[in-house]
Amino acid sequence: MYIIFALAFCLLVSAQQASMDMQSSGGAMDKAKLEEINKALEPETSISTFAQYLRSHPDLLKDVRPPFTGFIPSNEAITKEKTRLQGLSDQDFAKIVKAHVVNRYVAKLEDKQKLKALGGEELVVSKVGDKFTVNGAEVQGQFHPIGTDKTRGFYIINKLF
């Protein structure tokens, strides 16, 4: 079940863009934009579990609109939380997914920066040395933009919020 959770984030991103594309094109889904998002996430094998869950649960992402930034838990982070994740309803998974997405394009993190997640949770960025954390989850690597329009992107983190 926790493998399915990883897909939820990718679908969140894809569904959000699809919804935006449907609105701008009179309801027709823009497959090119969905492919762009999937291509951006594909090389990041460390987040495949979260991505797979999102792809299998597109309904979780219906409220997401650009701009947005995701803080995607790594496969290892999800494995550590598998007991917590087992048996959760789709509604509970949706809450977890929404806690990892903000409606802002955040290509640069700053110490003491405060962000509001889609679920209403406050995310606080901290910097220790040259590393950033968000609510205690270490940011692993750099920002990953999706596409060229500077409205969508993600970071990989080492634990669930």
In the predicted structure, residue 114 carries a pLDDT above the cut 80: yes
Share of the chain above pLDDT 90, in %: 43
pLDDT band at 143 (very low <50, low <70, confident <90, very high): very high
Look at residue 34 in the predicted model and tell me its pLDDT: 55
β-strands 152-157, 68-73 pairing: parallel
Higher per-residue pLDDT: 82 or 157: 157
Q: Is the pLDDT of residue 6 over 70?
A: no
Look at the pTM and tell me if it is higher than 0.75.
yes
The sheet carrying 114-116 orders its strands as 101-102, 68-73, 152-157, 137-145, 131-134, 122-128, 114-116
> Which residue type does 53 have?
Y
More confident residue, 157 or 43: 157
pLDDT-derived band at 132 (thresholds 50, 70, 90) equals very high
Which pLDDT does position 16 carry in this prediction? Answer: 44
- Distance of CA 14 to CAs 60, 64, 120, 135, Å? 11, 9, 21, 25
Q: Which residue has the higher pLDDT, 161 or 53?
A: 161
What's the N-to-C CA distance of the chain in angstroms? 18
Q: Which pLDDT value is given to residue 32?
A: 57
CA dist 136 → 24, 92, 114, 150, 159 (Å): 38, 21, 13, 26, 8
Residue-averaged pLDDT of the chain: 79
pLDDT digits (tens, 9 = 90+) for 28-59: 324 555 566 666 777 788 988 887 877 777 66
